[in-house]
Structure 1
Amino acid sequence: MAAPLSTANEQLYKLSEPLTLAGMPIPVLFLPFSSGAAPLDVASWDCDSVTVTGALTDADGDGIPVNASYNGRCTWSYSGGEGSFSGYWQYNDLNVQDPNDADPEAGIKVSGEVEWGFSGGGDSLTWTWTLTRHDLVKQGSQYDFDYEGSWQVDYNGDTYTFSYNLSGTWTPDDAQNPWGDGTLNAIGSFSGTDASCASGWDLEVSLSGVHYTGGLIDSGTASFSGTDCDGTSTSVTITWSAAQVCITVDSQDPVCVPNS
């Protein structure tokens, strides 16, 4: 079960580096498996209730099923020198699709809900992630992406929320190397609340002609406008060229630094 979901994570976020460099917050399809940290490595697991249904065929060998749905809960518990801990992760109609099972670079579609829970050491956490739509789909010479979803995190009695909706296109410079250099265009919105920000914050973003090459952005514009928890509105524009990066806050004069 873990392998297709790990592949889903890799596929969905092949654009994560250029998006992050351009200032976009990108939620990751975190998989609730240990990566070397006690106590999860030696915990007692029970995943008997997990089921996978649908069309599990993978003709192009990209690790993504044609149309599979994941449901069920895994629970774990541990008691040892570090204390007693328990938790779970759960998939609620988490659907993973390959938009073209004849092309290993066709992309992926993911929707559904993932939930994690943890208690121990005086802490209690529940994290629910609703993936309304997480699509990255090849369309001719470019990729269309559409990421929409929300988080709700309840931690020791406090609630945190985060919603996002980001869509756009990625056009590779070289069709034979789709995840190398390329150009991003996108629009999106983000919002959230927490215990100290009940009124919430919001952010509108746009990317225009943002060209990514060799780990840097060398052309294009990113615009951000939003309101913080105090109701203060701010706008920021970032413009890249091969030589410099210029940042303009509200109507102030731009501040430029070398692009390196």
Structure 2
Amino acid sequence: MKVLFLSDTHLCHISWYGWDSRARMEKLVCDLRKEYEREPYDAILMLGDYSLDYWEVGPLYGSYSNGGVSNTAAFIEDYVSQFPCPTYLIPGNHEQYTHEDWEKITGAKRSFAVNVGDCVFVMLDNFGENLNAPVHNHGTYSFSDTDFIFRTIEQNPGKKVFLCAHHFALEHERDEFKRLVRETDAIVAMFAGHTHKSDIICAGDEYGGKLLCRTGNYSYSSMPNPADSMWGWRELVAVGDELTTAYVVPESTVDFGAGKVTVPFHRQDAAELA
């Protein structure tokens, strides 16, 4: 089994590193198809921020909240439709659509579970408060739904469980979530985007020392040196009982501000999960 996690693609009005959004999304499609030809994968799990549809920065603000233009819908129709395998999307903090509008755009609920082989991925909506708020904002963190996680685990006995969200605010999460992660052996790890980093962190004793694996970006890096967390995706590979993850960076020719440079294909921020 091989699954890719991808987040923070941000189809919008902003150009990054010498690429406008449309050209960047075309490159993403090309990179994913090349990866599939090189080594097929079973699913793509997208963990939010496909747009700046809801955005607190003026004078433009969100393309949808201030102008009725859904770049999330455009991203799905124009680019996700070209991905080479089943793709599942949850919202980020810039997709503050109502439950009804989100389902119209994506064909799915704001939270759900995905089964791939003997693994189940709990796709959480952690920005589900104050949806479609009248005031421009960056979203309201709504905490992880422990009831939904528990039900999903009960419905999938014997499966390895991975918790996925746009963001896990580990220090601020409820005690019941920390306890569930810490005491549930079936929960292997957490995956999230939002930070535009590709790092792996230990969630600490409150979470039983389990890992949070971040999914980088395909827009802009939050690192002082952007090349340290460049465009890419995180993979999860299962071979027998062995589970490994790494951040995959396809080759890109970009301009960080001092002329064009080529970032070569490579893997980074890898770990064994089992």
TM-score bucket (shorter structure): under 0.3
| TM-score normalised per structure 2 | 0.26
Whose helix fraction is larger, Structure 1's or Structure 2's? 2
Q: Highest CA radius of gyration, 1 or 2? A: 1
Whose strand fraction is larger, Structure 1's or Structure 2's? 1
Structure having greater relative contact order (Cα 8 Å, sep ≥ 6): 2
